[in-house]
Amino acid sequence: MDAETTQVNGQLDKTRNVHGNGNEYWMARDLQPILGYTEWRNFKEVIDRAKSSCESIDVDPTIHFVETNKMVAIGSGAERAREDCYLSRYACYLVAMNGEPTKRQIAAAQAYFAVQTRRQEKFDELTEAQKRIELRDRVKDHNKQLNSSARAAGVLSEKFGIFHDAGYRGLYEMSLAEIKAKKNVPENETLLDHAGRVELAANDFRITQTEQKLRNENIKGQEHAIRTHQVVGQEVRDVIKKIGGTMPENLPPEPNIKKLKSSSKKKNLKE
């Protein structure tokens, strides 16, 4: 893998977002420079061609391309609406396939999204238990990235417990200790090891969005970072409430995932 492909892959990973339902998405404005486009109008033409490709195979483009407008500052306190678009993984793949083939970034993105799509297909073939294990591992990896961003923001290692508790307080409206007591999770065991897929997905959304906000907004200061984590947690909770989902504290606990991993390992050895 050459240096440019590695760079494009890293940028696509960093700008990837995860919705509360576990689905990945990218913002078109984030994708634009990664794919080598300096002008929005030119990149918008690529998006329009991708939408047409979607329609040509009888797939509703509104499922994968969701247009939005965001108010941005233009100086002297004034703001204006800036066009943007939420893109699913499939939408990004179509955008890459409809980009200028002479751009090396386009070729790298085509390979990236082809691999991501195949990875999702393989995930869909897993059993429910395997999906839960896969998602739990993903949450662990994303928590490591969040820790790194929190440290860069100024959170001291001895304050990480307070930092993470703030995120739980935002999402669950109770402390980690209170959540574990409510769900009868043993004090010496990890809450997320007892979380089902829906609860894990909600926490993954909280974690990835906090990490992105700390990094994108260059948040500095321990207290500011802690408040940010709680605010993002609360916003994820508001989304769940808005769509009529079950609040995470009311989701039933699952058997410790370490037991599932152990059983899965033994099964693989037997096979």
Q: What is the mean pLDDT of each run of 10 residues along the chain (271 residues)?
A: 76 83 86 93 94 86 88 72 89 90 86 76 68 87 94 95 96 96 94 92 93 92 96 93 90 87 49 39
Cβ 222 vs Cβ 159: under 8 Å: yes
Spatial distance between the Cα atoms of 176 and 163, rounded to a whole number of angstroms: 11
Q: Which residues does 44 contact at the CB level (< 8 Å), separation at least 6?
A: 83
pLDDT value, residue 262: 61
pLDDT value, residue 104: 86
Closest-CA residue to 101 (of 92, 110, 91, 114): 110
pLDDT value, residue 227: 96
Spatial distance between the Cα atoms of 67 and 131, rounded to a whole number of angstroms: 31
The DSSP code for 87 is E
Q: What is the chain's length?
A: 271
pLDDT value, residue 270: 42
Measured distance between the N- and C-terminal CA atoms of the chain, rounded to whole angstroms: 34
25: helix, strand or coil: strand
pLDDT value, residue 106: 87
pLDDT value, residue 123: 61
